Amino acid sequence: MMRTRLKQALVVALICISLQAAWPQVDHDEDAAKFADAGQKALSTGHYAEARDNFEKLSKLEPNIAEVHATLAVIYFKQREYELSAREVRTARKLKPSLPKLDSLLGQSLAEMGDFEEALPLLEKGFHQTADTEVRRMCGLQLLRAYTGLSRDSDAVETGLALNKLYPDDAEVLFHTGRIYGNYAFVVMSKLHDSAPGSIWTLQAQGELHESQKEYDEAISSFNHVLAVDPHRPGIHYRIGRIYLTRFTEAQKAEDRDAAQREFTAELAIDPGNGNSRYELAIIQADLGNLDEARKLYEQVLELYPDFEEALVGLGGVCLDSQKPDQAIPALEHAIKLNPKDDVAWYRLARADRATGNKDGQQKALAEFQKLSKAKPLHKPVGDEVTPQQVGPEAQP
């Protein structure tokens, strides 16, 4: 259940209230005009208690003006008095059904009250049919709450995906949709555990969970249990190898790197087409200074997967370290064609061009590297699938 309070972003503009349109009917009443004017001024400056007092007095003098009740509904909503807000919306709807956006406000009030069944069709209408960006956004956020409260988790996820597409950089949307996805993943994994507690899938899920929490020993144990059930299951040795490699990166213990190498080799014995394992072995050999073996492994990867961009960059680096810059250039140019924003590829191409005497090419590649490295950290973060190539500490922009 979404318990975090949604931001109360509603303002009078969302209801498009035009009280002045009603005043010709009551312009003889000076008190009504006085309360309306004072209430609107208080509302525009965010003094909701003062606005409430004036509009409540106005509603007693002019009980049949729908816009007055709609304005009160907004004020009550801002003050989190949702029952009063819903009451005023219903009154306004009876008096003037054509008044816009009342359904959306009623749906949001009902959702805040926990009345999700009644709120749902109003919120769905507001989210899917309104052209107002902010109303759609608020209805979408309340839909997440309603669907979750009704245990309609898949509908909540679907709405979350739609919200992320509509508002990709909205912090509040990202927060609530992230919680929805996390909740849905927990529900699904709980069902998996309950329905098949000893299955390979459950053991693998446990391994991935431990890995995500950096519980490396527990993750390795869970993945080894998978192999105990199915010794030839593809991908598991690779996952274990990646865990050892991550631990080596953090603690720099040689035994972890050795263990990673054994696991990647074991993966290739099961699945010779696993390019990721061969790529990781190439990086390890390059780091150990075994350049010929590293080059051989990179070339084997690229025979299977010619557009493996990180392997192309890795091959270029090995060629450079082997004093063969002319052989590095084709691989690096291919990598840049695949990913023009790879700063490592541009840096290594600058080195290769300098070594081969191509000063124009060197200047262009170095300029691209400097531009990209200023826009992001110099070292690419470790990815989820393979270890990215790095430029090294000497490559300052």
% of the chain residues with pLDDT over 70: 88
Check: CB of residue 71 under 8 Å from CB of residue 43.
Answer: yes
Please enumerate in sequence order all residues whose Cβ is within 8 A of that of 256, keeping only pairs 6 or more positions apart, or say none.
244, 245, 247, 248
CATH of domain 7-100: 1.25.40.10
Check: CB of residue 101 under 8 Å from CB of residue 131.
Answer: no
- CA distances from residue 243 to 41, 207, 263, 319, 361 in whole angstroms, order as listed: 62, 10, 10, 28, 39
C-alpha to C-alpha distance for 184 and 153, rounded to whole angstroms? 6
The alpha carbons of the chain give a radius of gyration, in whole angstroms, of 31
C-alpha to C-alpha distance for 323 and 320, rounded to whole angstroms? 5
- pLDDT attached to residue 86: 95
61: buried, middle or exposed (CB in 10 Å: 19+, 13-18, 0-12)? middle
Model confidence over 321-374: pLDDT tens digits?
Answer: 999 999 999 999 999 999 999 999 999 999 999 999 999 999 999 999 999 888
- pLDDT attached to residue 113: 92
How crowded is residue 117: how many other Cβ atoms within 10 Å of its Cβ? 10
Check: CB of residue 176 under 8 Å from CB of residue 159.
Answer: no
**90 CA to centre of own chain:** 38
CATH architecture of 197-306: Alpha Horseshoe (1.25)
How crowded is residue 268: how many other Cβ atoms within 10 Å of its Cβ? 17
C-alpha to C-alpha distance for 75 and 52, rounded to whole angstroms? 6
* Total residue length of the chain: 397
- CA distances from residue 308 to 53, 120, 302, 322, 334 in whole angstroms, order as listed: 68, 47, 7, 21, 10
C-alpha to C-alpha distance for 216 and 244, rounded to whole angstroms? 8
Model confidence over 6-61: pLDDT tens digits?
Answer: 444 343 444 444 444 444 454 447 888 889 889 889 888 889 999 999 999 999 98
C-alpha to C-alpha distance for 291 and 294, rounded to whole angstroms? 5
Check: CB of residue 302 under 8 Å from CB of residue 308.
Answer: yes
DSSP string, 226-246: HHHH-TT-TTHHHHHHHHHHH
Assigned CATH class of 308-397 = mainly alpha
CA dihedral 344, 350, 351, 356 (to 10 degrees): 140
Tokens linked to 388:
């990215």
- pLDDT attached to residue 380: 45
DSSP string, 235-279: THHHHHHHHHHHHHHHH--HHHHHHHHHHHHHHHHH-TT-HHHHH
Assign 331 to helix, strand or coil. helix
- pLDDT attached to residue 2: 43
Which of 25, 13, 111, 16 has its CA nearest to residue 61?
Answer: 25
Please enumerate in sequence order all residues whose Cβ is within 8 A of that of 213, keeping only pairs 6 or more positions apart, or say none.
none
C-alpha to C-alpha distance for 47 and 40, rounded to whole angstroms? 10
C-alpha to C-alpha distance for 320 and 313, rounded to whole angstroms? 11
DSSP string, 269-320: HH-TT-HHHHHHHHHHHHHTT-HHHHHHHHHHHHHH-TT-HHHHHHHHHHHH
Residue recorded with tokens 């555990």: 193
Which ranges of the chain have pLDDT less than 70? 1-28, 186, 188-189, 376-384, 393-397
